[in-house]
Amino acid sequence: MKNPDFCPDFFYFYLSYMSFADRYINRNIIYPPFIEEAPASTLGMVVVIPCYDEPEILNTLEALKACQPPSCQLEVLVVINHSELSSPKIIAQNEQTAQQLHDWKKENASCFFQLHVIQAPPFRKKHAGAGLARKTGMDEAIRRFAAIDFPDGVLVSLDADTTVDQNYFCELEQHFQSFPKQVGTTIRFKHRTEELDDERHRQGMDLYEDYLHYYKQAMAYTGFPHAIYTIGSAFAVRALPYVKQGGMNRKQAGEDFYFLHKLTQVGEIGEITTTCVYPSARISHRVPFGTGPVLKKWLEGEETLRETYNFQAFDDLKQLFDLLEELYQSSSEDCPGLLVKLPGAVKSFLQADDFEAILLEIKENSARFDSFQKRFFLNFNAFKILKYLNFVHPAFFEMQELGEAIQLLAAHDQAKTAKS
């Protein structure tokens, strides 16, 4: 039972006064504190799990419980949420889930992590979705780290239908200790296709994963310095960079893509390949786009999973990125002569994007090549690359068969490696 004299607002304001996150807490957090108990002084990691109409959350908790514990104190925050327009059936499922979680907490009182069940108030229709749910949990985690003024605390993003390897926490802890300058990391993932009975469903999931790997690796091939996976259940971020970046967004879907690519503007994001998370491969109605909706269309007969962005579009873009040093050293009169040699698809996009004016501004504000390069990719970021890809398809390129695109990328990567 809650203490009627407890004032979470005053409590956490007092604990976080002059902490690394004080300004963020006062300006960016939507809700008052959900958790009454003060965090342990040795808290080092908080796992945030959004939970909407989710019957499998106990499987996720059991997977976490089976992990080797890290040396730091650990908390798991499950954010049960629904929209103001959610059906009575969904609200009932959420209530049942909350009770199951409270029961699990009592039955597992000796578990090495502290479970907190957050029942968020109904989200407004405009913002209800994965982004706001993840933000609600991550902001609460920031309060926990602010209370002990620990800017190096790690926020771990997970989903309620996901399991993990037993070395999950230890590998996360070891990674952040080994790379103290990294602001965050992605984590290897593999959807649980072995649970699927439908062969077409399994085939679609395999194609979707192949696409995710192709897209990330093709981005890296171009020379883009921030080629990363953006899977909501497979990343972690330090508390201070989370605050500097402005926190999680409230997008109804794709929040992970936007957050992680904005985080690259704060610092380097690593990649953990020594452990793995295993998201469900099921069809989901929880988001308007992403894995679930894509697979639903595939099962209904669409064949778009077999196609992807043409590899030549990435190879053409590489020619622009290869020119950066020459563009930096060239005069404003010489730049057009360099750009005119680029492939037609790239030239057309740059003209539409008013690239020459942008380039001139970047050059005028860059005293060294490294600062020029950093400013360049702040402008020509992952969002602009996606804009470029959609601009040149189908105006310049037809979508390409996925297997063919993967083979071309592998061949060009091998040739690139052989030259270096």
Which residues face 353 on adjacent strands? none
Cα-based angle 356, 358, 364 (whole degrees, multiple of 5): 100
Quick one: average pLDDT of 288-309? 80
Q: Where are the beta strands (DSSP E) in 81-126?
A: 113-119
Q: Please provide residue 290's backbone torsions phi and psi, each rounded to the nearest 5 degrees.
A: 120, -160
Is residue 197 predicted with pLDDT exceeding 80? yes
Whole-number Å distance between alpha carbons of 99 and 64: 19
Q: How confident is the model over 194-205, as a mean pLDDT? A: 92
Rounded Cα–Cα distance for residues 41 and 22 (Å):
18
Phi and psi angles of residue 277, each rounded to the nearest 5 degrees, phi first: -110, 150
Strand 154-157 relative to strand 43-51, pairing: parallel
Q: What is the pLDDT of residue 285?
A: 59
For the stretch 128-149, pLDDT in tens is 888 999 999 999 999 999 999 9
**Which of residues 291 and 206 earns the better pLDDT score?**
206
Q: What is the predicted pLDDT for the residue at 398?
A: 97
Mean pLDDT for the chain overall: 92
pLDDT at 293 (0 to 100): 74
Residue count (the chain):
420
3-state DSSP assignment of residue 102:
helix
Residue that wins the pLDDT comparison between 368 and 417: 368
Domains of the chain: 8-300 (3.90.550.10), 311-419 (no CATH)
Report the C-alpha gap between 107 and 122 in whole angstroms: 28
Structure tokens at 377: 């990719």
pLDDT of residue 5: 45
What share of the chain has pLDDT > 70, as a percent?
Answer: 93
Q: What whole-number distance in Å separates Cα of residue 140 and Cα of residue 6?
A: 17
pLDDT of residue 168: 98
Given a cut of 50, is residue 219 above it in pLDDT?
Answer: yes
Instruction: Name the token pair of 22.
Output: 């004080």
Q: What angle do CA 107, 113, 115 make, to 5 degrees?
A: 65
What's the confidence (pLDDT) of residue 3? 42
- Kindly tell me if the per-residue pLDDT of 261 is higher than 50: yes
pLDDT at residue 290, rounded to an integer: 63
pTM: 0.91
Q: Report DSSP letters for 300-320, one per residue.
A: TT--GGGEE--HHHHHHHHHH
23-65: per-residue pLDDT in tens? 999 999 989 999 999 999 999 999 999 999 998 899 999 999 9
Q: Phi then psi for 296, rounded to 5 degrees?
A: -60, -45
User: Taking 90 as the threshold, does the pLDDT of residue 271 lie above it?
Assistant: yes
C-alpha closest to that of 397 among 338, 320, 295, 314: 314
Q: What is the CA radius of gyration of the chain?
A: 23
Distance of alpha carbon 72 from alpha carbon 194, whole angstroms: 34
Nearest Cα to 165, choosing from 275, 279, 56, 280? Answer: 275
- Give yes or no for residue 206 having a pLDDT over 90: yes
- Mean pLDDT, to the nearest integer, of 286-313? 80
